[in-house]
Amino acid sequence: MSAAVKELLDILDLERLEVNLFRGRSPQVGWQRVFGGQVVGQSLVAACRTVEDRLPHSLHAYFLLPGDPAVPIIYRVARIRDGKSFTTRQVNAIQHGQTIFAAMVSFHADEEGFTHQMAMPVVPPPLDLPSEMDIKQRVLPMMPDPVRAYYERERPIELRPVEFGRYLGQRQAEGRFHIWLRITDTLPDDPVLHRCVLAYASDLTLLDAALIPHGRTVFEKDILPASLDHALWFHRSFRIDDWLLYAHDSPNASGGRGLARGLVFSRDGQLVASVAQEGLVRQRRTE
């Protein structure tokens, strides 16, 4: 197992302090604030540690304050409901005596019912696209410094963008963006773990979609991005150690905020999850 994957799994393996109280840590990589996907993933882990025999089907959360990577995060879980079909948990993430993130997580016992889904977009399969090694060797020299620095780090989640020309300043038709992703090592057969890792990964690229119609990216120095909220729905079982297609679009940007949506498909075309997020997408003012 790679060091990056082991680090991610260690970060998601929260320490239990009390029945409904957990402690998580942040990687010490020099970031000024905690990565939002980390808090989403750790909050989902905390909620799942208080529920048996049911899987999470949705999470709705708000980012309230920037997280401090230098100190642990305390996760306090409130057992809101334990019903016949649904279980509900509220999770508050706390640092320095303040709530930095608040989430509601719902669990459901699967049952038979109506079934339909949107079709998976027709895009090249992941193995036909440049690998991360190919991108590093062929494409990175042409990319802006912040994008190049992002791809040069060893990361637990491999990303293969379909329209990687977007990072070279190319505008995308209809404002859509597709990226294949997976964790770089095989994980145990634990559906909770696969959902928590996807929760972490769901915040990696989503807010960037709000800038697609403008031909910009969150990597640019004059863009000030910040996630405001995050919603995630799990529809079907999946494995995060196999390729998933993350299809992005952005129906609106106004008032300094952008709305981004994502649909997550397995390689065989099953819609396994949906994501939505509003975020701050300010342009830095020049004096």
Q: Where do the structural domains in the chain lie, given as residue ranges? A: 1-110, 127-286
Domains 1-110 and 127-286 share a fold: yes
When comparing pLDDT for 272 and 129, which is higher? 272
pTM of the model: 0.92
Cα distance between residue 192 and residue 177, in whole Å:
28
- 149 has pLDDT over 70: no
- In the structure, what pLDDT confidence band is assigned to residue 143 with cuts at 50, 70 and 90? low
Tokens 């190049």 correspond to 148
Q: Out of 227, 250, 266, 274, pick the active-site residue.
A: 227
pLDDT for position 266: 98
Q: Is 203 a catalytic residue?
A: yes
| CATH superfamily ID and name for 127-286 | Hotdog Thioesterase (3.10.129.10)
CATH fold, domain 1-110, is: Thiol Ester Dehydrase; Chain A (3.10.129)
For residues 15-33, average pLDDT: 88
When comparing pLDDT for 286 and 250, which is higher? 250
Q: Is 277 a catalytic residue?
A: yes
Average pLDDT of the chain, as a whole number: 90
Q: Out of 38, 95, 266, 277, pick the active-site residue.
A: 277
Q: Out of 203, 208, 249, 266, pick the active-site residue.
A: 203
